[in-house]
Chain A
Amino acid sequence: GAVVSQHPSRVICKSGTSVKIECRSLDFQATTMFWYRQFPKKSLMLMATSNEGSKATYEQGVEKDKFLINHASLTLSTLTVTSAHPEDSSFYICSARAHNGQYFGPGTRLTVL
């Protein structure tokens, strides 16, 4: 099956710093990737849709200037959490669309101190 990787798997940072999370489709090309956020004991909430070569589409209530998304190639999308605050601490999961379905990365645990 299709494999999606994320890096880093976990990151701890200080308030006010920026953190970049990478999402890669390892064995397929993905023109569309998705970023989800998950709080403890909650479901996945879609943050944005990332399209290769164009601007991301953000869901209502998600600040595009805070969560910067770049999809520069068919195998890589990045999410940068800018000026992180403790309330940004969460589990961030990316997903990539292959021809036969939508596959998920292993997630990145972000903790902002």
Chain B
Amino acid sequence: GESVGLHLPTLSVQEGDNSIINCAYSNSASDYFIWYKQESGKGPQFIIDIRSNMDKRQGQRVTVLLNKTVKHLSLQIAATQPGDSAVYFCAENIKGNTPLVFGKGTRLSVIA
């Protein structure tokens, strides 16, 4: 889960549009995945999680999709709002009581 490169990838969307943020995770043994939102100067906030026995989970305005075949996770945000602007991280938990491993992160910018 270590970031690579100098800058976070950025996704810019118009207010009201849907956003899709993607994440490739590293370990096929991971059984639990979480999406976090991090605003500048703050700690990560839990958004939504999904276990490996599911391929889709919906929350309020957010949906997480899990594709274990290609080790891919996505976060969909419906009707994106300016308050959604932040950096989004996926995190994976390898089986057991191991700590979460974070992905690179994607900066979401919402254009009003």
A contact residues vs B (CB 8 Å cutoff): 1, 4, 6, 32, 34, 36, 41-46, 49, 91, 93, 95, 97, 101-107, 109
B residues engaging A (CB < 8 A)? 1-3, 6-8, 34, 36, 41-46, 49, 89, 93, 97, 99-105
Chain A residues, Cβ within 8 Å of B1: 43-44
Q: 8 extra interchain contacts, Cβ-Cβ under 8 A, other than A44-B1, A45-B102, A106-B43?
A: A1-B46, A34-B100, A43-B104, A45-B2, A46-B99, A46-B101, A95-B100, A104-B45
- CB-CB under 8 A from B6, the residues of chain A are 41
Distance of A64 Cα from B51 Cα, bound (Å): 33
Instruction: Say whether B89 contacts A44, CB under 8 Å.
Output: yes
Are B97 and A109 touching (Cβ within 8 A)? no
A73 to B109, CA, bound (A): 41
**With A101-B34, A102-B100 as contacts: A43 and B44 at CB distance below 8 Å:** no
**How far apart sit A106 and B97, CA to CA, in the bound complex (Å)?**
23
**C-alpha gap A4/B46 in the complex (Å):** 12
Taking a contact as CB atoms under 8 Å apart, the answer to whether B8 and A106 are in contact is no
Q: Which residues of B contact A43 (CB under 8 A)?
A: 1-3, 89, 102-105
Chain A residues whose CB sits within 8 angstroms of the CB of B45 once the complex forms: 104
In whole angstroms, how far apart are the Cα atoms of A44 and B3 in the complex?
A: 8
A38 to chain B, nearest CB (A): 9
Closest to B89 in A: A43
Cα(A43)–Cα(B8), bound, Å: 9
Contacts A43-B2, A43-B89 given: A49-B99 contact, CB under 8 Å? yes
Instruction: Write 17 A-B pairs (CB below 8 A) sorted by A numbering.
Output: A41-B7, A42-B3, A43-B2, A43-B3, A44-B89, A45-B2, A46-B99, A49-B99, A101-B46, A101-B49, A102-B100, A103-B46, A104-B36, A104-B43, A104-B44, A105-B43, A106-B42
Residues from chain B with Cβ under 8 Å of A105 in the complex: 43
Is B42 within 8 A of A44, CB to CB?
A: no
CA distance A46 to B101 in the complex (A): 8
Bound complex: CA A70 to CA B94 (Å): 25
Q: What residues of A have a CB within 8 angstroms of the CB of B105 in the complex? A: 42-43
A49 to B66, CA, bound (A): 27
